[in-house]
Structure 1
Amino acid sequence: MAKYFLNLSIYRKILLGFSVIGGFSAVLVIIGIFQLYSIEKITISLKPHVDASEYLQEAMLSLELLDSDIERYTTVGGVENKDNIENDISRIGKFSLQIEAGENVARGKELSNIRQTIFTLRDDIGDLINFEEVGEMNGRNERIVRVYVSLGELRSQYSSLRKDIENEFKQSLDAQSRSVASAINQFVIIELLIVILGIVIAIALSRMLTAPITKLALVAAEFGKGKLDARVDIHTKDEIETLANTFNSMAEHLARYTTNLEGEVEKRTEELKQKVKEINSSNQLLTKREEELTLVNERLRELDKAKSEFISVAAHQLRTPLSAIKWILSLLIDEDAKNLTPEQRSLIMKGYESNERIINLINEMLVVTRIESGKIQYNFISMHIEDLIDSVLIDFAGQAHVRRIKLVFEKPSSPLPYVKADPEKMRSVIQNLIENAIHYTKDGGKITISVLVENNFVRVLVKDDGIGIPVHQHSSIFIKFFRADNAVKYQTDGSGLGLFVAKSIIEKQGGQIGFESALDKGSTFYFTIPLSENIPISPV
């Protein structure tokens, strides 16, 4: 048998070992199931005692209620108290019948006495109630005394019955506990024997498998240290013997290869020394070029900084006169509208719109300058993104109405969770996407805004059926000052800064922005914003 086992492959040895352990485990499981079944039978046998104890407790509680109701009736009278007494008597009789119906706790004599006492109590109470309704005072105290005597006798009988049931339950529980403890001890002993046997089998199998592997590992370690004539001698007639033979063959080839390699190494070493001299010369040239590039990069950074400072100063200087011009043109339109001819009013309106575009361009350039310099500040709070979208759609409702463009906001069926974002910056992003959709959608078109939750983010989508974006220009759409060719032809106004700013704001807030578009079929721009970990508490 042992010889047969030794000639098996590693897979079959392991499979046989696990099969033996699995068989022992199955035996253990079957024994455990039988023990659980025995415990369940014990639990079922104790149930009638528990039920009888519960019914008896309910009957004694009803007895106390009857005592209180009789006291109130004899003191103040009343139909309600009379009805309560009759209900109490009915409940006591019902619980007594439930106790009598219990299994293995039938006590004919005791329950017969209890029924007789209940009948007596019911008769005494009925006599007292009839006497009270007639209004006679003679003999009243005697009837009350008879009621309380019957009540006390019933209470005593219940207490005696309860004590008997508890004693019987305790004796039965002790006997069943001993049976359970004995079964558990037997189960534990069998389990320990099976576990010990499984450990013995596992250790024996492990040693049988690891001993040749350890021997192979030691020889491999010696070979790795440079002892190229090290070989391993293993005869297990399984995969490990095959591995040992393969190792010996590999070691033989490596030993021959190493001998040939040493001569080749000496030859290559001389060649490498010559190459090193050439590389050192090249490194000196590269170092010089690197120093020149460093100087050029430093100069470019200075020029970029000067450009940003110039844009910032120029923009700030232009905002003041442009704001004054805006105010004057607005004043002319609002106050002198009646004194202007249609042609004059048209020219002033065009000037006002051109001035507004220049102001917007300057504002965008200032935002870009602050983004590039890292000076833009964010005020992150927990907010509802759909409320912000509603507010922005109100701003564009008039513009969309004039061009007969349908704005649709597909709100989710249930409220979205809060997001963590800067409301002012998020408003500018949503405004930019909706404004672009309106600009590049033909009259009578449709723009759809939708919101959904994806993992730990909220995704906002703005879809239009406008002019779309050429495929070859998709990669440049978020570059500063870039505008697609068809967009420039369709509408000459535009700075090409809006999407650059929107991308910077979204990424700064932990989200992503992207789009899908096809020429003449429309575009869908989308961005994600992370959910907020904190829910704001509304003031009471």
Structure 2
Amino acid sequence: MNEKDETKHLIANITHQAINPLNGVLGTIDNIIDGTISDERRNQRLGSARAQLEYTITLIRNLAYFAQYGGTEPKVQSTSIKTTVIPQNLIEGAMFFQEQADNRNIKIHVKDKNIQNAIKGDPDLLRQVFMNIVDNYIKYGHEGRTVTVSHWIQKKTNDVIISIEGESIPFRQDENIFELGVRGKDAEDKTSSGSGLGLHICKLIIEKIFGGKIEAEYISKRGVSVFKIRIPDGFVTEGKR
């Protein structure tokens, strides 16, 4: 498949992924208006509709980031003077999918919340990375499990290291899940949902904007997938931006 066909396929796939939840939201609104949904079920259905909108927003944001950063231009280092406080940013990214996580009884545990490791750079961009990874665990993680997030500054390099680990369906190392449009075979077998765009956006943002590195590994003997992010020039802050 050539680049033009890949782009057309990507757009078609994302359009399909966005239309389905939006139709679900419209159906919920119609049912509330015409009284089909009882008062007892109203909040539950509204919560579900909100989760569908959150998913669609994430999808559209990813598409916008892909349009901005998805070319073959050289690495663009961030010149933002903003400070991204890592634990705060991680928590905000996880909270975006709270409804979906609750539905699958998946907990997101951020360790060392009071240690304010930070980097210089746009918090919105890094938050999107965390949102995409959390979304990945909610789709493919095991129900009733905890996703553990750790962060620290490596003394030798001064890099911020962020490790996100949780039980999930497996993927092989030769399945380059960060490439555009790639989804692991087991992921495709589990659900048709997924654009193959989210993790690619993670790679673009971490490498092109923050000058860092992102990698993933499935540890079969423990049944967990581990995402590890490395970003240079970390420091400790009081948490003020």
Same fold (TM over 0.5): yes
Between the aligned partners of 2:230 and 2:125, the Cα distance in structure 1 is 14
User: Where do 1:345-356 residues align within 5 Å?
Assistant: none
Greater relative contact order (Cα < 8 A, sep 6+): 2
What's 1:424 paired with?
124
Matched residue, 2:106: 405
| SS of structure 1 residue aligned to 2:195 | coil
Q: Identity of paired residues, percent?
A: 23
Q: Do the aligned partners of 1:382 and 1:534 also contact (CA within 8 Å) in 2?
A: no
Aligned with 2:64 (options 362, 366, 375): 366
Structure 1: give runs of 5+ residues left out of the alignment. 1-299
Superposed CA offset, 1:390-417 (max 9, x none): 22233333332332223222116x6244
More strand by share: 2
Selected match of 2:229 from 495, 503, 527? 527
SS of match in other structure, 2:137 = helix
1:459 matched residue in structure 2 = 161
Q: Residue 189 of structure 2 aligns with which residue? A: 489
Q: Does 1:479 align with 2:175?
A: no
Question: 3-state SS of the aligned residue for 2:161?
Answer: strand
Q: TM-score, normalised by structure 1?
A: 0.35
Distance 1:307 1:379, change over 3 A: farther
Offset at 1:497? 0.8
Query: Does the CA contact (< 8 Å) of 2:54 and 2:97 recur in 1?
Result: no
Aligned positions of 1:42-441 closer than 5 A: 304=4, 328-329=26-27, 331-332=29-30, 335-336=32-33, 339-340=35-36, 360-373=58-71, 380=80, 381-411=82-112, 415-441=115-141
Deviations 1:108-144 (A, max 9, x none): xxxxxxxxxxxxxxxxxxxxxxxxxxxxxxxxxxxxx
SS at match of 1:418: strand
The answer to whether residue 165 in structure 2 is matched with residue 468 in structure 1 is no
Rg: which structure is higher? 1
RMSD over aligned Cα, in angstroms?
4.3
Q: 1:390 to 1:352 in 2, by over 3 A?
A: closer
Indicate the structure with greater helix content. 1
* 1:514 paired residue among 200, 209, 215: 215
Per-residue deviation, 1:322: 9.6
Equivalent residue for 1:450, pick from 120, 142, 150: 150
- Paired residues of 1:329 and 1:352 also in contact (CA < 8 A): no
Q: How many residues align?
A: 224
Contact 2:161 2:230 in 1 (8 A): yes
Cα shift at 1:535: 6.5
